[in-house]
Structure 1
Amino acid sequence: GTYRAFVDQLPRLDALGVTAIELLPVHQTDPQEGSYWGYMPLCFGAVHAQYAAGDDPAAELAALVAAAHELDIEVWLDVVVNHTTEVDAAGPTYHLRGLDDAMYRRRGDGSYIETTGCGNDVDADHPAAQDLVVWSLDRLADLGVDGFRFDLAAVLSRSPSMMSRLEAWARTRDVRTIAEAWDAAGGYQVGRTWPGTGWMQWNDRFRNDVRSFLRADDGSAALMEQRVQGSPDLFDAPGDSINYLSCHDGFTLYDVFAYDAKHNGANGHGNRDGADDNRSWNCGWEGDDGAPDTVLALRRRQLRNAWCLLAMSHGVPMVAAGDEHGRTQGGNNNAYNQDNATSWIDYARRDEFADLEHFVTGLLALRARHAVLTQPEWWGDALTFLDRRGVDGSTAGPSIGWSVGDLCVLANAWWHPTEFALPPGSWTMAVDTNQADLLDPPTPVDASAYVVGPRSAVILTR
């Protein structure tokens, strides 16, 4: 794809309800290195030429940003300034190693410190490294970019001076900063342990806990009580939490419900690469080949359930491109080197999953109509968690119901029906994930309790 071609997708994303797009790294990478996602940077401040239709990639990226702004869509960039494509001591010498090898962090024996999984760490304390990073960010911000998501940001946060400089720069340029607040060597700073101020953070706890809930893991409902209200156990404000269920790495949202195990053989590492803990459930059949209609129908309902939990939670929802129309990678959860149909977005699949994209469009419009979901303050006492039980009076399995403002959400991950006590008042049902679309008009619910079917979610409004 190209920057210019992506402009053609903007009207569709605007109609879907998207208000920001985050591009994978677009600074220049080594075309011969072999990875596809852009996480092996050759030059932090240059715009990747291979994504341009013509001979001026920076101008094409700026045109994409300008076109997005015309639709009131922000553009964020994933930036990788923690390592370079020169990898370890055996790697090629392209720039920093030849200019000043001391810009890489070293151990006492002179070997590179490596917490990125890519062979080297840029020394974030080095004044020249800081100058290079800020200059590179300035050049991208000059193109109109609204925000920067820092890959493996825990590598940078080890340097208080780098953090102070980045935060001062972001205030001056009036851009958002977003942290992937961990590294590849066990460093983990999600939430209040992150040492920066004014940052948003990818909340992988939301991903893990919601996926666990959707497969009905024991104890998952209690964790959901934190996640749906913006993770107050982790963050100081709900807007700090970027809630997501899928991203570029890991399973696509469809594959979360189609595969129990990763299928990464094509990557060339004997299926050893990629995460083993995916919190996925294949709905009773591994993959699509030969899957019974009942399994395929359950997967679609699970997709609608997942979208409902994401859209109705406090915080900032994020999805991976194509999740709105069931994008699959065939169970590959680390398709970093798959520049082919495995990793590409198959827009023809939109026809097969047109009902899901229509559902998502309506759901995001519903979210936009209810300001309580985007308010900067915690819900606090306005939030009520609802009593629930099995229809025979037994203790309910994994399920959660909550009401806040003029919304009531009932989510049953259990394989039996569950009865939820409703708050007083007149309610109408806007969503039942047993249906492929939102209810139009909404259906009145005149009862003090409501039974939600197995592995289903219901949204009530008033």
Structure 2
Amino acid sequence: MKSALATRIAGSADLYHNHARKPYHGINFVVAHDGFSLYDLVSYNHKHNGANGEGNNDGSNDNFSWNCGAEGEEGAGPGVVALRFRQMRNFMLVLMASQGTPMIVMGDEVGQTHFGNNNWYGHDDKIGHMHWDAAQQPERAAFLRFSSELIRFRKECPLLGRADFLKPGDITWHEHDWGNTESRFLAWTLHDTLGAGCGDLYFAFNAHPFEVRATLPPPPPGQKWSRLVDTNLPSPKDFTVGGNAGVEPEYGIQGYGAILLISKAA
């Protein structure tokens, strides 16, 4: 799926670069109102629609989800919970990194759950209600902060959500073997060809269960790479406002982790 993912990240020109359309005419999303919430996407392998009165036969059976090691809340120890929120940060980062218009379902920014129900719209109860107190829970409060900072950064950085489709000089894919179906690592650099002053952006996503040590591309002359996002780090280091002091030329992206680096004056 890596080539397909890269095409979507770049703005889906295969679908929209015609009839004078722009990247923002494409709507990017990880989940929608039909199906699992973002939290349930990483917490359930199967739908749990028993409360709907149709013998669990309603709703989609193709959820493309992974429970990170335990189905639902039962048996979900600290390691499973931590992995779930890391995966949610990965999803939120790739959504905000993609050209086009991002769509987020209300509640996903705090890890809203429908308890594994993927056809929950008819429930006027805890299954369908917005859980307003969710943000008071430590893990969800941290995810809300991460999501908020990431949205703010996207709105402030002209390199994301561009008005025109990317040209070859705007992006460098750090990939030489697109046909390797065993590869679960993808990295690219967005170059500040707009002269926006926000620096180049380096993204890397590692869906392998093991660490990948990436040799970073050289930053622009007179600049250095600084870490803005590392989804493997605990809050608030998962998003360091303004970027940290700098990183080494080789960066270890942890399993099921992702990073965003920004180039800054050295």
Give the TM-score category using the shorter length.
Answer: 0.7 to 0.9
Q: Which residue of 2 aligns with 1:319?
A: 104
Higher relative contact order (CA 8 A, sep 6+): 2
Q: 2:202 aligns with which of 408, 415, 420?
A: 408
Q: Does 1:398 align with 2:184?
A: yes
Q: Deviations over 1:256-309 (max 9, x none)?
A: 000000001111111111111111000010001231111001001011111000
Q: Which residue of 1 aligns with 2:45?
A: 260
Q: Which residue of 1 aligns with 2:225?
A: 427
Query: What code does the residue aligned with 1:397 have?
Result: S
Conserved 8 A contact 1:430-1:461 = yes
TM-score where L is the length of structure 2? 0.85
Q: 1:452 to 1:275 in 2, by over 3 A?
A: same
Q: Which residue of 2 aligns with 1:123?
A: none
Stretches of 4+ aligned residues off by more than 4 angstroms: none
| Number of residues of Structure 1 aligned to a counterpart in Structure 2 | 238
Q: 2:60 aligns with which of 253, 275, 279?
A: 275
Conserved 8 A contact 1:324-1:356 = yes
Q: Does 1:357 align with 2:144?
A: yes
Q: How far is the alpha carbon of 1:441 from its aligned partner?
A: 5.4
Q: Which residue of 2 aligns with 1:331?
A: 116
TM-score where L is the length of structure 1? 0.50
Query: What code does the residue aligned with 1:332 have?
Result: N
SS at match of 2:84: helix
Query: What code does the residue aligned with 1:267 have?
Result: N
Q: Does 1:445 align with 2:230?
A: no
Q: Does 1:369 align with 2:156?
A: yes
Where in structure 2 are the equivalents of 1:97-176 lying within 5 Å? Answer: none
Q: Which residue of 1 aligns with 2:197?
A: none
Distance 1:460 1:254 in 2: 26
Q: Runs of 5+ in structure 2 lacking a partner?
A: 192-199
Query: What code does the residue aligned with 2:190 have?
Result: V
Which structure is larger by alpha-carbon Rg, 1 or 2? 1
Query: What code does the residue aligned with 2:121 have?
Result: Y
Query: What code does the residue aligned with 1:386 have?
Result: H
Distance 2:215 2:63 in 1: 33
Distance 1:369 1:386 in 2: 25
Q: How far is the alpha carbon of 1:396 from its aligned partner?
A: 7.0
Q: 1:396 to 1:419 in 2, by over 3 A?
A: farther
Q: 1:408 to 1:396 in 2, by over 3 A?
A: farther
Query: What code does the residue aligned with 2:144 have?
Result: E
Q: Runs of 5+ in structure 1 lacking a partner?
A: 1-219, 390-394
Query: What code does the residue aligned with 1:385 have?
Result: W
Query: What code does the residue aligned with 1:243 have?
Result: N
Higher percent of residues as helix? 1
Q: Does 1:383 align with 2:171?
A: yes
Where in structure 2 are the equivalents of 1:7-406 lying within 5 Å? Answer: 220-236=1-17, 237-352=22-137, 353-381=140-168, 382-387=170-175, 397-405=183-191, 406=200
Conserved 8 A contact 2:172-2:189 = yes
Query: What code does the residue aligned with 1:399 have?
Result: F
Distance 1:228 1:359 in 2: 20
Distance 1:314 1:262 in 2: 31
